[in-house]
Structure 1
Amino acid sequence: MNPLRTSRALVAAAAAVVLSFTSAGFANGAAGGALRDHDDGDEITVGIKFDQPGIGLKTPDGTYTGFDVDVATYIAKQLGHDPADIVWKEAKSADRETLLQRGDVDFIAASYSINDKRAEKVDFAGPYLLAHQDVLIRADDDSIKKPSDLNNKKLCSVTGSTSAQNVKDKIAPDAQLQEYGGYSECLTGLENGVIDAVTTDDSILAGYAAQPEFKGKFKLGGFKMSNENYGIGVQKGSELKAEINTALEKMVADGSWEAAVKKNFGPAGYQNEPAPKIGVIVQ
């Protein structure tokens, strides 16, 4: 036997095997639209907030609750995944685009407002909720009935948030801004009378106010000072966008969307907007 011919044959065979595995791997990564590789074919990774009661919260016992969790679980089921298949990953506001671009998650449901700047980097399914900037005040406070009543009031939001500054710049220039490290601190200040109002998205405020320890203590102003169209973030060009839109339409049609709103926001008296139409962004 010619040793050189045998060596060439072995090299050719090895190259064929490598090419076969590479082609299979590419097909598995691109065909499904998820653009991610999983150790378990049934696994799906979803980005949510871990620290927003009513929206996305990781509880002390390691479970996850909130409207975005319910929406994401419904979507995952429509994509063929049981709840046990979902790997929840924290998606902080500043990290959301990076998580999607790197392929660390399949999709993100994390009070993720659709805007042009974000849409340059990722795609959005939805919207699935129309929220508004609002204020939370004490239930017995009748002094704040309209946005301009926030003048000379102590208005709280979290450090780095633009919500309170928007109120001061555009609505109540004499509001006294107070920045705390987190919304929980703002609510404690509101409960104790140190703060007069807390501002951010009404859905987030309703989620906090719906917690058992705050039940009946606070109310939403209902001021609708901005429109926040929450969307499901997916990787740019992902086929999941169309599949998720179909799932969202079904969630509205079968009543699951309304049930999730009432379950997570109802205790705060949240007057939600009707479910938005897919692809319609309210300015």
Structure 2
Amino acid sequence: MFFHENELQYEVEVTEPDPYFAKMLQQAIGGAEGEMRVALQYMFQAFAVPSEKQEYRRLLMETAVEELGHIEMLATAVTKNLEGASREVREEAAEDPVIAAMMEGGQPRQALSAGLHAMPVDSNGVPFSGGYVVASGNLAADMYANVMAESTGRLLAARLYEMTDDPGMKDMLSYLIARDTMHQNQWHAAIEDLGDVVPVPNSFPQEKENQDVNYQFMSTFRERHEDPEEAWTQGASPDGKGEFSFGYQPGGGAPDVDEMLDEMYNDVE
């Protein structure tokens, strides 16, 4: 259950509205690196946390709700950037500068379908996809996925920061970048708190693995070459359970699928 306060998590101000930047901000809402992705990712991960690990459920759910607040901030930023046009555009388009700016460099659907407001889409207008969400049911796997999600989110926010000169937008993005810093660190802390989790899932008995290849780096070059002696081809593995080695794919013969091809009538007589 959620309760909504009619107050933004952090102040959002726009000095000089920019419809093109509003389009770019849509990536931070509905894109693969956006806030909709992490809000739903953490929420669905929380749903799967077992009862004996409720501290992780709380961590995930509280962060998910924070991310919902980030969506609200960004949606407000989109609207404020669409409320007017740049001085140059106002001089060129006397009758309707906002729509003119939208057609020139923004997202027309923000005007045509949403009345100059944000939408659950990315910067190209592609609708948000639940396929972006990673919620495996394995807590360790999900925490590693969360580090990646916050990393790409921080990267996107940093790129957006460099795309604008508006002090209000830089201030908002500086806040979001700072929260990405915290979230990356909290997921790393959670992984450390979980203990020995590598390889994931660590509940599968490693004695059932093929012991010849479970710590071998397989080169896929056609020409054989010497071990490059990198950190992933020799020495102890990070999980402390094996020694890296260097080799090639073993080879398993040609695929024997002729019978199936015949049954499916795939051959041309």
When the two structures are superposed, what TM-score results if normalisation uses the length of structure 2?
0.21
Higher helix share: 2
When the two structures are superposed, what TM-score results if normalisation uses the length of structure 1?
0.21
Which structure has more RCO (C-alpha within 8 Å, separation ≥ 6)?
1
Higher strand share: 1
| Largest Rg, 1 or 2 | 2
